[in-house]
Chain A
Amino acid sequence: MLRPFRLHEPTTVEEATSLLADLGDAARPYAGGTELLLVMKAGVLAYDHLVNVKTVAGLAGIELDAGVLRIGAAVTHRELESSAVLRERFALLASVERRVANVRVRNVGTLGGNLCFAEPHSDPGTALLLYDASVEVAGPSGRRTIAVEALASGPYETALADDELLTRIDVPELPAGMAGAYLKFGYHQRPTLGVGVAVRLSGGARPAIEDVRVALGSVSPRPLRLRDVEDRLRGCSTADAVALASGDAGDLAAAASEAVDDLHGSAEYKRHVTKVYLGRALEQAIEAALAAGPERGA
């Protein structure tokens, strides 16, 4: 059962960050509570003060601004999965959001909370790497931008200071003609593995991988962009690329995976499924790019 705490409901970012600065270790931001309340119930963490980020103005809403999707930190997974602009222009992210957790957690849990908790088994934490997404963070001394790639520094650890609030997630559209797929795998509530691949194909009868982005998560302590794998695949014909994924590109991914032993399985097992799922995700990404057709080779 939860121990009593004091709830604060600031209405501005400045008020929230100065509360966090004043209360120090005794306080935590609170959004949907789907993670925070679990660790507090379990007695793993104890806070005398929670600061509700949902009452802070400016943290709600989804907006498309010159090709960049601006997602308020307090936007829930459900709002994302049912957003028309997401479905139309960020189909890959929409498909990831539809598969986060279960319907109840999606109704309450926020994207900001997911990223700030830095649970290693996060789907959006991995998928957002495909978009080169970044977050806006506000603290007592002002605002700064952090790439999602640099946000999680390890399990349950982020680049945020204790008195900083994540205010917004900025997701640029994929480059024209680029499309992708995100596959997750596992037998627990949270994924054992998540692999995302986005590709842009060159035109012609024998299309090649003109550009590619690969992201891997859940197997490792934090989500990773696999740039060596991208370099290996770039320029290859689609057929060669698929073959490479089950060959040395797959081995590269497994080696770079930083896989760890945990409840979901051994590191060795995770390196194996990494390779298998890289191939599958690549094939699906190629299919998606072919289907997205018209802009290809433009």
Chain B
Amino acid sequence: MAAEAQTQRMALSFNLNGKPTALEVEPHVDLLRLLRETLGLTGAKRSCDLQVCGACTVLVDGRPVSSCTLLAFEVRGRDVVTIEGLRGEGLSGEGAHPLMRSFIDHAGFQCGYCTPGMILAAASLLDEEPSPTEARVREYLDGNICRCTGYKKIVESVLGAAGGEG
């Protein structure tokens, strides 16, 4: 059977970083492409494109997903939070998200490519489990890959934000 010639447009309304957003998408457009290319939010990165590395992590209804492989229409009626939405009032100000402050205080990043995904995944964990053990942090984040830090500082950053030790 031949492909349908005319393009299919779907209405899409959702909350993006707390703001109601309405547009049209074709069904084959992935969320990451919509965020980066249409909406100008480049915090989430396309890296492995296979849901393995976590660089494209965003939160949908508070839970991490790989936006590289989630079709954009799937977020209709839902809450999407990207790293830009978690930003608060600036990185050094009082309004910064506790995880961001903790990543700075513990030197939890080097090149920074994986950091948005790490912080969003960690935010979801702390939302569900405010005081996770180190083992739990490592288990929850084992699908977010970092090629610089060796993970020690990242785990310390997350535990720091959780326990308030940092």
Q: Which residues of A contact B (CB under 8 A)?
A: 1-7, 23-26, 33-34, 37-38, 41, 48-50, 78, 101-105, 107-108, 189
Contact = CB atoms under 8 A, between A and B. Distances in A.
Closest 7 pairs between A and B when the two form their complex, measured CB to CB: A102-B143, A7-B27, A26-B1, A2-B28, A48-B3, A104-B66, A107-B63
17 contacts: A2-B28, A2-B30, A4-B26, A7-B10, A25-B1, A34-B51, A38-B51, A41-B69, A48-B2, A103-B63, A104-B51, A104-B57, A104-B64, A104-B66, A107-B60, A107-B65, A108-B70
The size bracket of the interface on B is 20 to 34
A50 B71 CA distance: 12
Contacts of A7: 8, 10, 27, 73
Contact of B65 (A25, A48, A108, A189): A108
Nearest to B67: A104
Secondary structure at the B interface, as helix, strand, loop or mixed, is loop
Interface in B15-41: 26-30, 33
B143 A104 contact: yes
Contacts of A34: 51, 69
B140 A103 contact: yes
Interface in B29-87: 29-30, 33, 49-52, 54, 57, 60, 63-66, 69-71, 73
B78 to A, nearest CB: 12
B135 to A, nearest CB: 13
A213 B28 CA distance: 43
B142 interface: yes
Contacts of B54: 102, 104
Contacts of B27: 4-7, 50
Nearest to B29: A2
